[in-house]
Amino acid sequence: MLGYYKIITYGCQMNVHESEKIAGLLKAMGYEDCPAEGSADVIVFNTCCIRDTAERRALGNIGVVKAEKKRNPSLILAVVGCMPQQDGAAENIRQRYPYVDIILGTRNISRLPEEINKIISSRESKRRGDKRYRAVDTRLPDEYLSIDENTPTLRTSYPNAWINIIYGCNNFCTYCIVPYVRGREISRSMPNVLDEVRRAVDMGYKEITLLGQNVNSYGNDMPGGEVNFAKLLHEIDKIEGKFRVRFMTSHPKDLTEEVMDEMAASNKICSNLHLPIQSGSDKVLKDMNRRYDRERYLYLVSALRSRMPDIGLTTDIMVGFPTETEEDFLCTLDIVERVRFSNAFTFIYSPRKGTPAAQMEQIPYAVKQERISRLIKAQNRITKELSDGYTGKTYEVLCEDTAPKFEGMVCGRTDSGRLVTFDGGPSDIGKFINVKITASRSASLFGSREDI
């Protein structure tokens, strides 16, 4: 064994999955996952910059590691992912945190082993008087260097397997940093994706979650126009075995009738969709460059519900976009009441350097805070009302984990994506269990199993 590694992950599922690949790379080098109380030889911060809070949290924790590096000078510290990929950010990190050894952007992560080896050998030669080697690589090439098809993956979220289908984003929503830090869309080949799904199912994974900033544009960058997301879903559905399929994220402008048809026709693809709305105001949606309006969004909701009456719909909503007035915000509250999402992830708009919205006149933070608390209150009420409707019914639940707060209990999800806590133990993880819902508490459902 070469030593221990620790990976600290911020941000979205894409990053969680990329950390599984970082773990795979480090393990292949001979490093092992660091036990909770142990001290690591390699620490990797896999960062996010979607909002100011995400950046500040990562920078604060990188600061904390300075003391650890003092105690253990051979520690190798790497900062990778979205944060250093921003314009000028890598240089900034390099100067402000001189004890950081390796800085890699989103498309260079697979170079981590090579850079670790260079650091180790440069330390040996430094004893002979050479200058210390530090690695910085944030090139953003068109071809995806980072996650090549051969990168080993050390999956950490059994019974779910994350599988990336498309990298990057072409949409340039005016508030969003992702297209700048993740580059243009590149789809993985369909045979490679299908092969990875098959292998995960053969290994016993019971849920496959397909990942992409916009899964609906899968295949758009491929020549011939024969491959698209609906076809991919169709092929995945044909793979033998009992497993569930979810995917995220779907952009409302690109969700097609074909995809909705595939979802409805399949037993494997869950009746569950995350469909970020961002705002209920047509003017704000336009200023955000979202390229759909309320009417289109409401149409999609009714088209989905007419095909799948029990579909669980979740969303992302942002308040405090620069051009959002009180009236616009009321449109958001109105659409939340109309759609009745089973859950909503709510965010306060955070200006991101280099994006068009950051140049607009901003609205006071107090206004944003007041809006988000009204929004959260409305959504919590709806979530609770919907939860109450589950009571007394039986659902098939895929047991995911032991329940963190309740001894002798486990938790899992219904097909529609609702979290259920019920009696059980670690041996239930990965099993499909029928559970009768007996009580609900805001977003959580409680039940008793029907298999005993």
146 or 213, CB closer to ligand SF4?
213
DSSP-assigned letters across all residues of 323-348: T--HHHHHHHHHHHHHH--SEEEEEE
CA pair distance 440, 335, nearest whole angstrom: 25
- Binding residue (CB under 6 A) for ligand SF4 from 114, 172, 302, 385: 172
Residues 133/124, Cβ–Cβ less than 8 Å: no
When CB distances to ligand F3S are compared, the closest residue is 11
Kindly state the smallest distance separating residue 345's Cβ from ligand SF4, in Å: 12
Q: How far apart are CA 264 and CA 237, in angstroms?
A: 12
Residue closest to ligand SAH when measured from CB atoms = 316
Q: How many angstroms separate the CA atoms of 32 and 46, rounded?
A: 18
Instruction: Tell me 132's DSSP state.
Output: P
Decide whether 277 or 429 has the Cβ nearer to ligand F3S.
Answer: 277
Identify what 51 binds: ligand SAH, ligand SF4, ligand F3S, none; CB under 5 to 8 Å per kind.
ligand SAH
| Whole-number Å distance between alpha carbons of 318 and 276 | 9
Is the Cβ of residue 49 or residue 190 nearer to ligand F3S in the bound state? 49
Residue in 164, 213, 343, 421 binding ligand SF4, rule: CB under 6 A:
213
* 12 near ligand F3S (CB under 6 A): yes
Q: Which residues are CB-contacts of 261 (< 8 A; sequence separation ≥ 6)?
A: 230, 307
Tell which one of 165, 178, 200, 236 touches ligand F3S (CB under 6 A): 178
Nearest approach, Cβ of 251 to ligand SF4 (angstroms)? 5
Shortest separation between residue 389's beta carbon and ligand SAH, angstroms: 27
Segment lying near ligand F3S (by CB under 6 A), choices 43-51, 328-336, 361-369, 442-450: 43-51
Sheet with 343-348, edge to edge strand ranges = 272-274, 312-319, 343-348
Answer for the pair 45, 169: CB distance below 8 angstroms, yes or no.
no
Contact of 419 with 444, CB cutoff 8 Å = yes
**For residues 223-262, which are near ligand SF4 according to CB under 6 A?**
251
Which run of H or E residues covers position 276?
A: none
* CB 153 within 8 Å of CB 121: no
- Classify the C-alpha dihedral 288-182-268-228 as positive or negative: positive
By C-beta, is 23 or 333 nearer to ligand F3S? 23
- By CB under 6 A, is residue 50 in contact with ligand F3S? yes
Residues in contact with ligand F3S by CB under 6 A are: 11-12, 14-15, 48-50, 82, 177-178, 181-182
Residues in contact with ligand SAH by CB under 6 A are: 50-51, 175-176, 178, 213-214, 249, 251, 276, 278, 316, 318, 347, 349-350, 352
